[in-house]
C-alpha cells in the first residue's frame, strides 16, 4: 500500500488522532515500539499543517489585495464616468456656447481618452492621474471648483478618482511583492518544502505501520483502531489516483516499499527523498 496519493488534508486527519489525548494518543504511547515514534509523528504532522497555514495565509493576503484593487477600480471608474458624462450633459443643456465650450474643454482635459480611460490598465490609470493636474489651466481649474454635484464640488469627484487610481498603484505594488516573495505553488510553500513535508509524513506513517506489525502486544482491534483510517484513506486515494483525479507526489519509499522498524527511520534527511 502506498501513500503517494494522500492529500495534505487526509494526512492530518490520519495523524491527528494519534496525537490527541482524547482519541488514540494513550493507546499509541502504551505500545513499546510505537511510543518512540511520537516525536516523529508530532513533527511530521506539524510540518503538513505549517505548509497549509502558509498557503492559506498567502491566499488570504492575495485575495484581500485583489478585492481592494477591484473596489478602488470601481470607485475610479464610477467617478470618472460620472464626471465625464456630467460635463457633457451640462454642455448639452446650456444655451451659452462659450460655457458649453469651456465645459467640453474641461471634460477633455480631465479625460483625454474619454470613457476608454476606465478600461485601461491600472498602471495607465495611475499615470494618467499623476498627469491630470498638469493638463489644467487657470480657467479650467476655476471652472472645476465652481461646478457643483450632489457630492459637493466637482473637484472633489475628480480628487476621488485620482486618489483611487494612485491607491490602486500601491495595492498593485503590494500584490507584485507578494507574488515575488510567495512560493511558486498554490499550497503557499515552495515545491521542495511541500515535498519534504510529505516525505517526512510518509516515512513516519510507514514506520508506524511497520513497528505496529512487529508489536506483539497489539491486538487486532488496536491495529485496526490505529491504522484503519490510514488504510481506508490510502485505498480511496489510490483509487482516485488510478482514475487520474489525484496528483502523484514523489513517494519516499525504499524499493521494497517497507520502512525500517525504528524511530530513526523517520529522521533521514529530507532531500535524500526529494524525488527530483
pLDDT at 259: 41
> What pLDDT is attached to residue 55?
61
Higher per-residue confidence, 140 vs 243: 140
Identify the bridge partners of residue 149 per DSSP, sorted by sequence position.
152
Hey, which residues does 60 pair with through a beta bridge? none
Is the pLDDT score of 244 beyond 60?
no
pLDDT at residue 264, as a whole number: 47
Kindly indicate the confidence band of residue 268, based on its pLDDT and cuts at 50, 70 and 90.
very low
241 pLDDT band (50/70/90 cuts)? low
pLDDT range class, residue 188, cuts 50, 70, 90: low
The mean of the pLDDT values for the chain is 83
DSSP 8-state symbol, 118: G
- In DSSP terms, 152 is beta-bridged to 149
Please count the other Cβ atoms lying within 10 Å of the Cβ belonging to residue 217.
Answer: 9
Contact status, residue 86 vs residue 110, Cβ threshold 8 Å? no
Other Cβ atoms less than 10 A from the Cβ of 224: the count is: 12
Q: What is the pLDDT of residues 90-116, one digit of tens each?
A: 999 999 999 999 999 999 999 999 999
Amino acid at each position: 500500500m502506498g501513500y503517494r496519493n494522500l492529500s495534505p488534508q487526509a494526512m492530518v486527519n490520519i495523524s491527528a488522532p494519534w496525537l490527541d489525548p482524547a482519541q488514540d494518543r494513550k493507546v499509541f504511547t502504551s505500545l513499546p515500539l510505537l511510543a518512540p515514534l511520537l516525536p516523529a509523528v508530532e513533527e511530521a504532522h506539524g510540518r503538513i499543517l505549517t505548509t497549509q497555514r502558509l498557503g492559506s495565509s498567502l491566499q488570504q493576503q492575495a485575495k484581500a489585495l485583489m478585492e481592494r484593487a477591484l473596489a478602488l477600480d470601481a470607485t475610479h471608474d464610477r467617478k470618472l464616468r460620472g464626471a465625464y458624462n456630467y460635463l457633457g450633459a451640462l454642455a448639452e443643456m446650456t444655451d451659452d456656447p462659450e460655457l458649453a465650450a469651456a465645459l467640453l474643454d474641461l471634460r477633455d482635459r480631465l479625460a483625454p481618452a474619454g470613457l476608454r480611460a476606465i478600461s485601461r490598465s491600472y498602471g495607465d490609470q495611475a499615470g494618467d492621474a499623476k498627469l491630470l493636474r498638469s493638463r489644467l489651466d487657470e480657467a479650467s481649474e476655476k471652472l472645476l471648483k465652481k461646478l457643483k454635484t450632489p457630492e459637493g464640488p466637482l473637484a472633489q469627484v475628480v480628487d476621488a478618482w485620482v486618489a483611487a487610481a494612485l491607491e490602486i498603484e500601491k495595492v498593485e505594488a503590494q500584490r507584485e511583492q507578494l507574488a515575488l516573495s510567495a512560493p511558486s505553488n498554490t499550497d503557499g510553500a515552495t515545491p521542495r518544502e511541500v515535498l519534504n513535508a510529505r516525505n517526512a509524513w510518509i516515512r513516519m506513517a510507514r514506520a508506524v505501520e511497520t513497528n505496529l506489525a512487529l508489536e506483539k502486544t497489539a491486538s487486532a482491534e488496536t491495529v485496526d483502531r490505529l491504522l484503519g483510517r490510514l488504510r481506508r484513506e490510502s485505498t480511496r486515494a489510490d483509487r482516485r489516483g488510478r482514475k487520474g483525479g489525484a496528483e502523484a507526489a514523489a513517494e519516499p519509499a525504499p524499493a521494497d516499499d517497507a520502512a525500517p522498524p525504528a524511530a530513526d527511520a523517520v529522521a533521514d534527511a529530507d532531500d535524500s527523498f526529494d524525488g527530483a
